Amino acid sequence: MPPPSRAAASSSVPSSAASGAASSAPIESSSPVLGREADLEALARQCSACQRCPLAQGRQQVVVSRGNPRARLMLIGEAPGAREDALGQPFVGRSGQLLDQLLAAAGLDSNRDAYFCNGVKCRPPANRKPTALELAACRPWLQLQIALVQPQVVVLVGATALQAVLALKGPISQLRGQWLDFEGRAFLPIFHPAYLLRNGSNQLGSARELTRQDLVAVRERLLQLAGQLPAN
Protein backbone atom coordinates (compact mmCIF):
# COMPACT_ATOMS: atom_id res chain seq x y z
CA MET A 1 0.00 0.00 0.00
CA PRO A 2 1.40 3.46 -0.80
CA PRO A 3 2.31 5.41 2.34
CA PRO A 4 -0.79 6.62 4.18
CA SER A 5 0.88 9.98 4.70
CA ARG A 6 0.64 10.71 0.97
CA ALA A 7 -3.09 10.24 1.06
CA ALA A 8 -3.36 12.28 4.23
CA ALA A 9 -1.40 15.13 2.70
CA SER A 10 -3.52 15.27 -0.44
CA SER A 11 -6.85 15.23 1.38
CA SER A 12 -8.75 18.15 2.77
CA VAL A 13 -9.35 16.23 5.98
CA PRO A 14 -7.09 17.80 8.59
CA SER A 15 -4.69 15.16 9.77
CA SER A 16 -3.46 15.59 13.30
CA ALA A 17 -2.37 11.96 13.56
CA ALA A 18 1.27 12.31 12.66
CA SER A 19 2.50 9.78 15.17
CA GLY A 20 0.71 7.19 17.19
CA ALA A 21 2.77 5.03 19.50
CA ALA A 22 0.43 3.35 21.93
CA SER A 23 1.13 1.63 25.19
CA SER A 24 -1.15 0.49 27.99
CA ALA A 25 -4.25 -1.63 28.69
CA PRO A 26 -7.14 -1.80 27.96
CA ILE A 27 -6.29 -2.51 24.37
CA GLU A 28 -6.68 1.06 23.27
CA SER A 29 -4.26 3.78 22.28
CA SER A 30 -3.18 5.87 25.23
CA SER A 31 -1.48 8.53 23.11
CA PRO A 32 -3.49 11.73 23.27
CA VAL A 33 -3.89 12.57 19.58
CA LEU A 34 -5.92 15.74 19.70
CA GLY A 35 -8.55 15.91 17.05
CA ARG A 36 -8.55 12.28 16.02
CA GLU A 37 -12.30 11.88 16.46
CA ALA A 38 -12.94 15.24 14.77
CA ASP A 39 -10.73 14.27 11.84
CA LEU A 40 -12.52 10.94 11.52
CA GLU A 41 -15.88 12.69 11.62
CA ALA A 42 -14.72 15.01 8.85
CA LEU A 43 -13.55 11.98 6.88
CA ALA A 44 -16.94 10.31 7.35
CA ARG A 45 -18.74 13.45 6.15
CA GLN A 46 -16.58 13.67 3.03
CA CYS A 47 -16.86 9.97 2.45
CA SER A 48 -20.65 10.15 2.58
CA ALA A 49 -20.60 12.43 -0.48
CA CYS A 50 -18.10 10.29 -2.38
CA GLN A 51 -18.78 9.68 -6.07
CA ARG A 52 -15.36 8.25 -6.95
CA CYS A 53 -16.75 5.03 -8.40
CA PRO A 54 -20.01 3.59 -9.73
CA LEU A 55 -20.81 1.89 -6.40
CA ALA A 56 -22.10 5.30 -5.29
CA GLN A 57 -25.15 4.82 -7.53
CA GLY A 58 -26.42 1.70 -5.79
CA ARG A 59 -25.71 2.43 -2.15
CA GLN A 60 -28.18 3.36 0.58
CA GLN A 61 -25.34 4.87 2.55
CA VAL A 62 -21.58 4.93 2.78
CA VAL A 63 -20.37 2.50 5.42
CA VAL A 64 -17.32 4.03 7.07
CA SER A 65 -16.55 2.42 10.42
CA ARG A 66 -17.63 1.10 13.77
CA GLY A 67 -15.80 0.52 17.01
CA ASN A 68 -13.25 2.52 18.92
CA PRO A 69 -11.19 5.08 16.93
CA ARG A 70 -8.55 4.86 19.69
CA ALA A 71 -8.22 1.11 19.53
CA ARG A 72 -4.80 -0.26 18.70
CA LEU A 73 -6.43 -2.94 16.59
CA MET A 74 -8.04 -2.30 13.20
CA LEU A 75 -9.97 -4.94 11.27
CA ILE A 76 -10.37 -4.35 7.55
CA GLY A 77 -12.92 -6.34 5.59
CA GLU A 78 -14.00 -6.46 1.99
CA ALA A 79 -17.18 -4.44 1.48
CA PRO A 80 -20.50 -3.76 3.15
CA GLY A 81 -23.31 -6.26 2.64
CA ALA A 82 -27.05 -5.62 2.71
CA ARG A 83 -27.32 -5.16 6.47
CA GLU A 84 -24.28 -2.91 6.63
CA ASP A 85 -25.70 -0.82 3.76
CA ALA A 86 -29.01 -0.52 5.63
CA LEU A 87 -27.49 0.28 9.04
CA GLY A 88 -24.44 2.28 7.93
CA GLN A 89 -21.93 0.25 9.95
CA PRO A 90 -19.43 -2.40 8.89
CA PHE A 91 -19.67 -6.00 10.05
CA VAL A 92 -23.14 -5.88 11.56
CA GLY A 93 -24.62 -8.78 9.57
CA ARG A 94 -24.12 -12.50 10.18
CA SER A 95 -20.41 -12.31 9.33
CA GLY A 96 -19.94 -9.45 11.75
CA GLN A 97 -21.77 -11.24 14.52
CA LEU A 98 -19.53 -14.26 14.10
CA LEU A 99 -16.46 -12.03 14.04
CA ASP A 100 -17.60 -10.35 17.27
CA GLN A 101 -18.06 -13.76 18.89
CA LEU A 102 -14.62 -14.96 17.79
CA LEU A 103 -13.01 -11.75 19.04
CA ALA A 104 -14.82 -12.10 22.38
CA ALA A 105 -13.63 -15.70 22.68
CA ALA A 106 -10.09 -14.39 22.24
CA GLY A 107 -10.63 -11.80 24.97
CA LEU A 108 -11.18 -8.82 22.69
CA ASP A 109 -14.22 -6.58 22.97
CA SER A 110 -15.43 -5.32 19.58
CA ASN A 111 -16.60 -1.97 20.89
CA ARG A 112 -13.65 -1.25 23.16
CA ASP A 113 -10.67 -2.96 21.56
CA ALA A 114 -11.28 -2.72 17.81
CA TYR A 115 -12.00 -0.36 14.94
CA PHE A 116 -13.69 -1.92 11.90
CA CYS A 117 -13.74 -0.73 8.32
CA ASN A 118 -13.68 -2.12 4.78
CA GLY A 119 -11.65 -1.99 1.58
CA VAL A 120 -14.62 -0.38 -0.15
CA LYS A 121 -17.21 1.68 1.67
CA CYS A 122 -20.23 1.13 -0.57
CA ARG A 123 -22.11 -2.12 -1.12
CA PRO A 124 -21.34 -3.83 -4.44
CA PRO A 125 -24.48 -5.03 -6.27
CA ALA A 126 -25.62 -8.48 -5.15
CA ASN A 127 -22.65 -8.58 -2.77
CA ARG A 128 -20.21 -9.31 -5.55
CA LYS A 129 -16.48 -8.90 -4.89
CA PRO A 130 -15.34 -5.29 -5.40
CA THR A 131 -13.37 -4.74 -8.60
CA ALA A 132 -9.75 -3.60 -8.64
CA LEU A 133 -10.99 -0.21 -9.86
CA GLU A 134 -13.45 0.15 -6.99
CA LEU A 135 -10.79 -0.85 -4.47
CA ALA A 136 -8.37 1.67 -5.97
CA ALA A 137 -10.99 4.43 -5.94
CA CYS A 138 -11.72 3.80 -2.27
CA ARG A 139 -8.11 3.31 -1.15
CA PRO A 140 -7.44 6.95 -0.19
CA TRP A 141 -10.27 6.78 2.36
CA LEU A 142 -8.79 3.64 3.87
CA GLN A 143 -5.33 5.17 3.92
CA LEU A 144 -6.70 8.15 5.79
CA GLN A 145 -8.44 5.92 8.29
CA ILE A 146 -5.18 4.10 8.95
CA ALA A 147 -3.27 7.37 9.23
CA LEU A 148 -5.79 8.78 11.70
CA VAL A 149 -6.46 5.69 13.83
CA GLN A 150 -2.78 4.65 13.84
CA PRO A 151 -3.44 0.99 14.67
CA GLN A 152 -0.49 -1.10 15.79
CA VAL A 153 -2.11 -4.31 14.63
CA VAL A 154 -4.24 -4.66 11.49
CA VAL A 155 -6.28 -7.79 10.84
CA LEU A 156 -7.00 -8.30 7.15
CA VAL A 157 -10.31 -10.08 7.02
CA GLY A 158 -10.23 -12.27 3.93
CA ALA A 159 -8.32 -12.38 0.68
CA THR A 160 -9.82 -9.20 -0.77
CA ALA A 161 -8.66 -7.13 2.19
CA LEU A 162 -5.20 -8.65 1.91
CA GLN A 163 -5.07 -7.69 -1.74
CA ALA A 164 -6.57 -4.24 -1.17
CA VAL A 165 -4.19 -3.27 1.61
CA LEU A 166 -0.91 -5.06 0.93
CA ALA A 167 -1.38 -5.92 -2.76
CA LEU A 168 -0.75 -9.55 -1.91
CA LYS A 169 -2.57 -12.18 -3.89
CA GLY A 170 -2.55 -15.78 -2.88
CA PRO A 171 -4.55 -18.51 -1.24
CA ILE A 172 -5.83 -17.18 2.04
CA SER A 173 -5.57 -20.72 3.38
CA GLN A 174 -1.78 -20.38 3.09
CA LEU A 175 -1.41 -16.73 4.05
CA ARG A 176 -3.73 -16.62 7.06
CA GLY A 177 -2.03 -16.64 10.40
CA GLN A 178 1.23 -15.27 9.00
CA TRP A 179 2.31 -11.96 10.46
CA LEU A 180 3.45 -9.35 7.96
CA ASP A 181 5.29 -6.26 9.17
CA PHE A 182 4.80 -3.20 7.04
CA GLU A 183 5.44 0.47 7.77
CA GLY A 184 5.72 -0.14 11.48
CA ARG A 185 2.48 -2.07 11.78
CA ALA A 186 1.81 -5.76 12.22
CA PHE A 187 -0.69 -7.17 9.70
CA LEU A 188 -2.39 -10.53 10.08
CA PRO A 189 -4.58 -12.05 7.34
CA ILE A 190 -7.42 -14.26 8.57
CA PHE A 191 -10.23 -16.20 6.93
CA HIS A 192 -13.32 -14.15 6.14
CA PRO A 193 -16.19 -14.98 8.54
CA ALA A 194 -18.52 -15.51 5.54
CA TYR A 195 -16.28 -18.46 4.67
CA LEU A 196 -16.46 -19.69 8.26
CA LEU A 197 -20.26 -19.50 8.14
CA ARG A 198 -20.19 -21.81 5.14
CA ASN A 199 -17.74 -24.15 6.89
CA GLY A 200 -19.21 -24.59 10.34
CA SER A 201 -16.90 -27.22 11.81
CA ASN A 202 -15.15 -26.36 15.08
CA GLN A 203 -12.83 -29.32 14.97
CA LEU A 204 -9.08 -29.15 15.37
CA GLY A 205 -7.59 -27.83 12.13
CA SER A 206 -10.92 -26.42 10.89
CA ALA A 207 -11.01 -22.89 9.46
CA ARG A 208 -13.00 -21.71 12.48
CA GLU A 209 -10.53 -23.16 14.95
CA LEU A 210 -7.60 -21.67 13.02
CA THR A 211 -9.30 -18.29 13.08
CA ARG A 212 -9.83 -18.61 16.82
CA GLN A 213 -6.10 -19.26 17.18
CA ASP A 214 -5.29 -16.30 14.91
CA LEU A 215 -7.36 -13.96 17.06
CA VAL A 216 -5.72 -15.25 20.23
CA ALA A 217 -2.40 -14.44 18.53
CA VAL A 218 -3.72 -10.94 17.82
CA ARG A 219 -4.53 -10.38 21.47
CA GLU A 220 -1.10 -11.68 22.50
CA ARG A 221 0.58 -9.38 19.99
CA LEU A 222 -1.33 -6.39 21.38
CA LEU A 223 -0.34 -7.32 24.92
CA GLN A 224 3.30 -7.77 23.87
CA LEU A 225 3.28 -4.36 22.17
CA ALA A 226 1.85 -2.88 25.34
CA GLY A 227 4.64 -4.51 27.36
CA GLN A 228 2.15 -6.68 29.22
CA LEU A 229 3.44 -9.96 27.84
CA PRO A 230 7.02 -10.94 27.06
CA ALA A 231 7.78 -11.18 23.33
CA ASN A 232 8.26 -14.74 22.03
Tell me which residues touch ligand URA (CB under 6 A).
77-81, 84, 90-91, 93, 95-96, 118, 157
In whole angstroms, what is the distance from residue 144 CA to residue 99 CA? 24
Using only C-alpha atoms, the chain has a radius of gyration, in whole angstroms, of 16
In the complex, what is the shortest distance from the CB of residue 229 to ligand URA, in angstroms, rounded to a whole number?
29
Q: Which is nearer to ligand URA, 168 or 223 (CB)?
A: 168
Q: Which is nearer to ligand URA, 40 or 159 (CB)?
A: 159
Q: Which is nearer to ligand URA, 33 or 47 (CB)?
A: 47
Kindly report the backbone phi and psi dihedral angles of residue 28, in degrees, each rounded to the nearest multiple of 5, phi listed first.
Answer: -150, 150
Sheet of 66-67, strands arranged across? 66-67, 114-118, 73-77, 153-157, 185-190, 180-182
Q: Which is nearer to ligand URA, 31 or 127 (CB)?
A: 127
- DSSP, collapsed to helix, strand or coil, labels residue 207 as helix
Q: Which is nearer to ligand URA, 28 or 78 (CB)?
A: 78
Residue whose Cβ sits closest to ligand URA: 77
- DSSP, collapsed to helix, strand or coil, labels residue 134 as helix
- Strands 114-118, 180-182: pairing is unpaired
Q: Which of 179, 145, 157, 143 is nearest to 68 (CA)?
A: 145
**Beta bridge partner(s), residue 155:** 75, 188
In the complex, what is the shortest distance from the CB of residue 18 to ligand URA, in angstroms, rounded to a whole number?
29
In the complex, what is the shortest distance from the CB of residue 80 to ligand URA, in angstroms, rounded to a whole number?
5
In the complex, what is the shortest distance from the CB of residue 168 to ligand URA, in angstroms, rounded to a whole number?
17
In the complex, what is the shortest distance from the CB of residue 66 to ligand URA, in angstroms, rounded to a whole number?
9
In whole angstroms, what is the distance from residue 58 CA to residue 122 CA? 8
Q: Which is nearer to ligand URA, 95 or 152 (CB)?
A: 95
In the complex, what is the shortest distance from the CB of residue 81 to ligand URA, in angstroms, rounded to a whole number?
5
